[in-house]
């Protein structure tokens, strides 16, 4: 049930709608059933129909894992209870003393997980924009390079191919957090990454109604070790969560197209606005990493950040003044959100090399009518 493999010739949208989702053989249901059973009958001891216990494997989860793996161009996909659970499982693959190079802009929770939970892993925050400088300062004990591109919240973009080539030459594994780009805009495994990780809570689910995480890989050994920790540590999503994320991901391509075009409309309003100090969007020619983004991404994404000339107080006033842009954490769903990273999503990075500017606002541009979003932001900016 639900294990249809993506055919090589299938395009992205066909994979999203069919990979892992063949009609149920007993009923013909075209939607993979939510399999709530925690246990599965065995004909004799060890003689299963492919499932034995739902932490170890579940038919709805298999359908969802097959679908997202197909979108990432991966042979292995593993679903977790949250993005941070997926990250935690990946970090468990490393041993005490293995150094992590962490891009110096990343989700605050990722920084917190590495620096405060996996304290046996030494880490260094590095500027991944300059690959030559990275090569020159490379710590010898590095075993893992962890990068987001575009980053959260500054939207810096890094050259995945160049960083993977360097890391592999030095014997390190590369993990790319593809949450902001999604596999529709960028496929890190095809550029040399060893692992892709997602907060499926964001664009994959796409509707702000499920918390989830995902890891994808092509390397059999990495995948098998991750499959072991997925089961042994047990941070798996429920069948209902898998169903919601699978349902959301079916429309990923069409949603991303609208997210990108709406983001462009918002950027047009912000650029040249008297209250705005700087607009951060990967499409802008002077944006850090614009060239890497133009090379490796299909389009530039639905996230836009900007700083206010009048400082933090102005940023907080604008964040409180929008009506369609809801003030809240998270991103990547159909409805637009606004947040102040310094006091919200990145508060845990205060005082660290990953601290963010206090006059920064981050927008997750949704798929509402562009003119309505533009009007809302314009009226809120009058409060700056």
Catalytic site residues? 55, 107, 177, 202
CB 29 within 8 A of CB 23: yes
Of 321 and 331, CB closest to ligand P1T: 331
Which segment (228-236, 262-270, 292-300, 325-333) binds ligand P1T by CB under 6 A? 325-333
The residues with which 337 forms a beta bridge, in sequence order, are 326, 364
Which segment (118-126, 293-301, 313-321, 329-337) binds ligand P1T by CB under 6 A? 329-337
Q: How far is the CB of 331 from ligand P1T (least distance, A)?
A: 5
- Over the window 75 to 104, marking each residue x when it contacts ligand P1T by CB under 6 A and - when it does not, the resulting string is -------xxx--------------------
Of 237 and 239, CB closest to ligand P1T: 237
- Residues in region 35-74 near ligand P1T by CB under 6 A: none
Count of C-beta atoms within a 10 Å radius of residue 236: 21
CB 74 within 8 A of CB 252: no
The residues with which 213 forms a beta bridge, in sequence order, are 80, 199
Position 322 contacts ligand P1T (CB under 6 A): no
Q: How far is the CB of 213 from ligand P1T (least distance, A)?
A: 5
Of 81 and 275, CB closest to ligand P1T: 81
Q: What Å distances lie between residue 301 and 151, 156, 161, 356, 368, CA to CA?
A: 11, 12, 19, 20, 15
Position 107 contacts ligand P1T (CB under 6 A): yes
Q: What distance lies between CA 53 and its chain's CA centroid?
A: 28
Position 211 contacts ligand P1T (CB under 6 A): yes
Which segment (9-17, 107-115, 163-171, 263-271) binds ligand P1T by CB under 6 A? 107-115
Position 241 contacts ligand P1T (CB under 6 A): no
- Where residue 219 falls (left for φ over 0; alpha for ψ -120 to 50; beta otherwise) is beta
In the bound state, the residue with its beta carbon closest to ligand P1T is: 83
Position 130 contacts ligand P1T (CB under 6 A): no
Tokens linked to 262? 């709406």
Q: Residues 104, 142, 179, 359: which binds ligand P1T (CB under 6 A)?
A: 179
Q: What Å distances lie between residue 369 and 9, 56, 258, 259, 280, CA to CA?
A: 34, 43, 9, 11, 22
- Residues in region 271-300 near ligand P1T by CB under 6 A: none
Tokens linked to 46? 């060890």
Of 148 and 159, CB closest to ligand P1T: 148
Gap between the Cα atoms of 181 and 297, Å rounded:
8
Residue with tokens 């072991």: 228
Of 15 and 346, CB closest to ligand P1T: 346
CB 121 within 8 A of CB 100: yes
Gap between the Cα atoms of 125 and 121, Å rounded:
13
Q: Residues 209, 268, 323, 329: which binds ligand P1T (CB under 6 A)?
A: 329
Which segment (13-21, 50-58, 105-113, 278-286) binds ligand P1T by CB under 6 A? 105-113
Position 115 contacts ligand P1T (CB under 6 A): no
CB 242 within 8 A of CB 79: yes
Which contiguous run of DSSP H or E holds residue 176?
strand 173-177
User: How many residues comprise the chain?
Assistant: 384
Of 121 and 337, CB closest to ligand P1T: 337
Position 199 contacts ligand P1T (CB under 6 A): yes
Count of residues interacting with ligand P1T (CB under 6 A)? 18
Tokens linked to 166? 């360097």
Residue with tokens 């659970």: 85
Binding residues (CB under 6 A) for ligand P1T: these are: 82-84, 107, 109-110, 148, 152, 177, 179, 199, 201, 211, 213, 329-331, 345
């Amino acid at each position: 049930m639900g294990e249809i493999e993506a055919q090589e010739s299938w395009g992205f949208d066909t994979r999203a709608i069919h990979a892992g989702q063949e009609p149920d053989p007993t009923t013909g249901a075209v939607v993979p059933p939510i399999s709530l059973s925690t246990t599965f009958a065995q004909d004799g001891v060890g003689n299963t129909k492919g499932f034995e216990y739902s932490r170890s494997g579940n038919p709805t989860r298999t359908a969802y894992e097959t679908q997202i793996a197909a979108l990432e161009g991966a042979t292995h996909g593993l679903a977790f209870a949250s993005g941070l659970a997926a990250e935690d499982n990946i970090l468990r693959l490393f041993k005490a003393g293995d150094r992590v190079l962490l891009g110096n802009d990343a989700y605050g929770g990722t920084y917190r997980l590495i620096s405060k939970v996996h304290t046996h892993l030494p880490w260094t925050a590095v500027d991944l924009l300059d690959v030559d400088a990275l090569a020159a300062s490379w710590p010898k004990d590095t075993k893992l390079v962890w990068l987001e591109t575009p980053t959260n919240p500054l939207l810096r973009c890094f050259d995945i191919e160049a960083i993977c080539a360097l890391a592999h030459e030095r014997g390190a594994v590369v993990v790319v957090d593809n949450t902001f780009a999604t596999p529709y805009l960028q496929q890190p495994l095809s550029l040399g990454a060893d692992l892709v990780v997602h907060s499926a809570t964001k664009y994959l689910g796409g509707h702000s109604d499920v918390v989830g995480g995902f890891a994808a890989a092509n390397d059999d050994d990495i995948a098998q070790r991750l499959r072991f920790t997925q089961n042994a540590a047990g941070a798996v999503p429920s069948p209902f969560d898998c169903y919601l994320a699978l349902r959301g991901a079916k429309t990923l391509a069409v949603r991303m197209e609208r997210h990108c075009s709406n983001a462009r409309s918002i950027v047009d309003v912000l650029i040249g606005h008297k209250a705005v100090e700087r607009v951060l969007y990967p499409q802008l020619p002077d944006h850090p990493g614009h060239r890497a983004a133009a090379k490796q991404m299909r389009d530039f994404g639905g996230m836009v950040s900007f700083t206010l000339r009048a400082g933090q107080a102005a940023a907080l006033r604008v964040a409180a003044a929008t009506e369609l842009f809801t003030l809240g954490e998270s991103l990547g769903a159909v409805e637009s959100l606004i947040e102040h990273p310094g006091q919200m999503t990145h508060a845990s990075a205060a005082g660290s090399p990953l601290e963010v500017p206090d006059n920064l606002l981050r927008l997750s541009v949704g798929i509402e009518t562009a003119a309505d979003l533009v009007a809302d932001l314009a009226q809120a900016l009058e409060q700056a």
